[in-house]
Structure 1
Amino acid sequence: MNKLVNDKLYETRNNLVKEITLLSDAQFNGKPDKNKWSIAQVCHHLVLVEEASIKAIAWGLKEVDHTQKDRKNVHLIILDRTKKIKAPKIVEPDVKPFEVQQIIDLLNDSRKKLLTFLSTIEDKSILAEKSVQHPALGELPLDQWIEQIYLHEQRHIEQIKEIKLLLDARH
C-alpha cells in the first residue's frame, strides 16, 4: 500500500478518535432527532464499512476477470455531503447504545484487520487491475476501495462535528 494512503488511513482515524474520545456516553448516544444517527451509530457504521470493504477487496482479488475498470473521482463523490448516500442494510449501525471505549476498540480492531489483510497481498499492483461493485460508487477498482475507507471516514467526521453542534444547541 502506498505511503500516502497509509498516512491518510492513519491521520483520518486519529482525527475520528479525537472527535469522540472526550464525549460522555449520553453525548455519544444522543440523537439530534429521531430520524438521525447518534455519533455512536455513525462510528459503528464506519466499523461495519471497513469490515465490509475487506470482504469486498478479498472477493475482488479472487475474481479471474482482470479488465481494467474506469477510475472514479472518489473524493469528489464521497466528500460532497450535499448528496445523501443511503447506507446499505449490511452496514447500518446497531440501535443499541454504545460506550465510547467500546467503539474505539471496535475501530482499532477493524483497522488492524484491514492492515493485516492488506499486508498479505504480495503484489499490490493487482489492486488497480481488479474491481468489484461498490453499493454507492458502482464498479470500483480495489485500490480505490481502500481509498474510500478514509474518505468515507472523513465524510462522517464532518457529520459527527455537526451532530455535536446540534446536541450542544439543545442544552
Structure 2
Amino acid sequence: MYKLINDNLYETRNNLVNEINLLSDAQFNSKPDINQWSIAQVCHHLVLVEEASIKAIAWGLKEVDGTQKERKKIHLTLLDRTKKIKAPKIVEPDVEPFEVQQIIELLDDSRKKLMTFLSTIEDKSILAKKSMKHPALGELPLDQWIEQIYLHEQRHIEQIKEIKLLLDARQ
C-alpha cells in the first residue's frame, strides 16, 4: 500500500511541475480574477498544506488514543471541484509574487521533508491506527492524511489547468 501512496505522490508531483514548468513568471503570478488565486498562489498553498500535513501526522503519532477511526472516501470530496473548500488561514498563500523556479524549489523541499519524516516511522501500520482531525475532512486516519496530500494536489492541478485556459482566453 505504501508503494502505491509513494507512486501517487511522485506521479502527481511530476504532473504538477509539468503544468507550471514552462510558464513565465508573469503568467505564473497572473490572477484570472481579483477573487481567485494565481497559479503561483495555488502552488504555494500546496507547499503549505504538505508542511501542515507533516505537523498534523507528527501530532497524531503522539496521541495516546488508540481507537481506530473509520476510513473515509476522501477522494470523493477532494476530487469533486464543484464543492468549494475554504482554505484555513494557516495554509493560505502569500500575496507576494513568486518565481516559477522558486516554487519548484519549495515544492521539492516540502516533498523531501515529507519523505524524510515518513522514513522515520518504523512501523507504518501505526498510521492506520491513529488519527487526527483534518480541517475539511474531519477525523482522518494518519495514512489518509498522506493520501490527501496527492489527492489535494490533483484537485489543484485541475484548477491550474482552468486558470491557464482563462489566462489564454484573455490574451
Query: Match of 1:165, SS?
Result: helix
Matches within 5 A, 1:12-51: 12-51=12-51
Partner of 2:73: 73
Partner of 2:132: 132
* 1:103-135 alpha-carbon deviations (Å, 9 max, x no partner): 000000000000000000000000000000000
The alignment status of 1:98 with 2:98, answered yes or no, reads yes
Partner of 2:119: 119
In structure 2, C-alpha distance between the alignment counterparts of 1:122 and 1:70, rounded to whole Å:
23
Stretches of structure 1 that go unaligned for 5 or more consecutive residues are: none
Partner of 1:58: 58
Partner of 2:162: 162
- What is the CA distance between 1:2 and its match in structure 2? 1.0
Stretches of structure 2 that go unaligned for 5 or more consecutive residues are: none
In structure 1, C-alpha distance between the alignment counterparts of 2:33 and 2:26, rounded to whole Å:
14
CA root-mean-square deviation: 0.6
Identity rate, percent: 87
Q: How many residues get paired? A: 171
TM-score normalised over the length of structure 1: 0.99
